[in-house]
């Protein structure tokens, strides 16, 4: 017996409206979650935390295409193009799906935040882990900027200081030779060497317009920009989304 068109119609409608056939933009599986950071000069990369993006996703700053687009875990790494400035709409598009967020193309890198890399650093595990972390760590991209990360605990037996995973307040400070907002700020937090996990708070609230900058990250292989480095930590600010790479020489 031949199938009647009327008998086939329900099956066709079910196929058309089943979740598998719906576009990802109709199911909430495409869109921007955050921009990290939400402002940068032309030539700098930013991370677009997003859902449903692929290597075919188009990224535009107003009507200007991103200078480069790379896929990354959890989103896209894109370079801010030339030819745009000031507040713009950053949009992602793929097929019939689109989303946008406000972004600001800066004329210069902001002077009141630590210098960071022009390209996003994708963290990798280091070849080995250190026995301790106490030191003044230097900004890879600004040698005048240092962050003191110290963990000293006196065991009261023979005056030996043993680390306990808590960064000592009153010992570690952020210093900068030329930028007052980044100078003499207390550093606190905690870490786990074996898990390679760092939680650092830099308290800049004593400065005009200052704030507590909470950063998380891990030890990574040393970067080519600091050939004398023995260890390198890569942190990311929860407030600004900017990366901070710190190294020590001993």
Question: What pLDDT does residue 160 have?
Answer: 53
Q: Would you state the pLDDT for residue 21?
A: 37
pTM: 0.86
Token pair for 222: 């040393």
* DSSP bridge pairs for 139: 142, 246
CA distance 21 to 16: 6
Tell me the H-state helices in 21-154: none
| Spatial separation of the C-alpha atoms in residues 164 and 80, rounded to whole Å | 42
What's the CA gap between 169 and 37, in Å, rounded?
28
Q: How many CA atoms lie within 13 A of 161 on its CB side?
A: 10
- pLDDT score, position 6: 53
Apex 194 CA angle, 192 and 198, nearest 5: 30
Q: How far apart are CA 145 and CA 246, in angstroms?
A: 9
Asked if the bond preceding 37 is cis, omega within 30° of 0, the reply is yes
Query: Which has the closest alpha carbon to 162: 182, 134, 135?
Result: 134
Q: What is the pLDDT of residue 19?
A: 47
pLDDT digit of tens for each residue in the chain (250 aa)?
A: 455 555 555 554 444 444 443 567 777 889 999 999 999 999 999 999 999 999 999 999 999 999 999 999 999 999 999 999 999 999 999 999 999 999 999 999 998 899 999 999 999 999 999 988 999 999 999 999 999 999 976 555 555 566 789 998 888 999 999 999 999 999 999 999 999 999 999 999 999 999 999 999 999 999 999 999 999 999 999 999 999 999 999 8
Are 76 and 60 within 8 A, CB to CB? no
């Amino acid at each position: 017996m031949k199938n009647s068109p009327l008998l086939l119609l329900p099956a066709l409608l079910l196929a058309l409206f089943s979740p598998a056939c719906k576009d990802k933009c109709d199911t909430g599986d495409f869109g921007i979650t955050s921009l990290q950071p939400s402002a940068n000069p032309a030539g700098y990369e930013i991370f677009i935390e997003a859902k449903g993006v692929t290597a075919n996703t188009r990224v535009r700053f107003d009507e200007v295409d991103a200078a480069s687009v790379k896929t990354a875990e959890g989103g896209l790494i894109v370079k801010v193009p030339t030819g745009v400035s000031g507040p713009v709409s950053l949009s992602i598009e793929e097929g019939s799906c689109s989303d946008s967020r406000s972004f600001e193309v800066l004329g210069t890198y902001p002077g009141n935040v630590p210098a960071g890399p022009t390209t996003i650093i994708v963290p990798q595990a280091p070849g080995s882990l250190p026995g301790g972390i106490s030191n003044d760590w230097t900004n890879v991209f600004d040698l005048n900027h240092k962050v003191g990360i110290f963990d000293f605990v006196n065991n009261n037996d023979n005056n030996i200081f043993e680390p306990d995973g808590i960064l000592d307040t009153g010992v570690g400070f952020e210093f900068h030779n030329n930028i007052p907002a980044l100078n003499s700020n207390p550093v606190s937090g905690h870490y786990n060497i074996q898990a390679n996990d760092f939680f650092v708070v830099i308290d800049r609230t004593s400065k005009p317009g200052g704030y507590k900058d909470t950063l998380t990250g891990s030890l990574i292989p040393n970067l080519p920009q600091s050939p004398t480095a023995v260890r390198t930590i890569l942190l990311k600010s929860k407030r600004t989304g900017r990366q901070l790479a710190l190294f020590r020489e001993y």
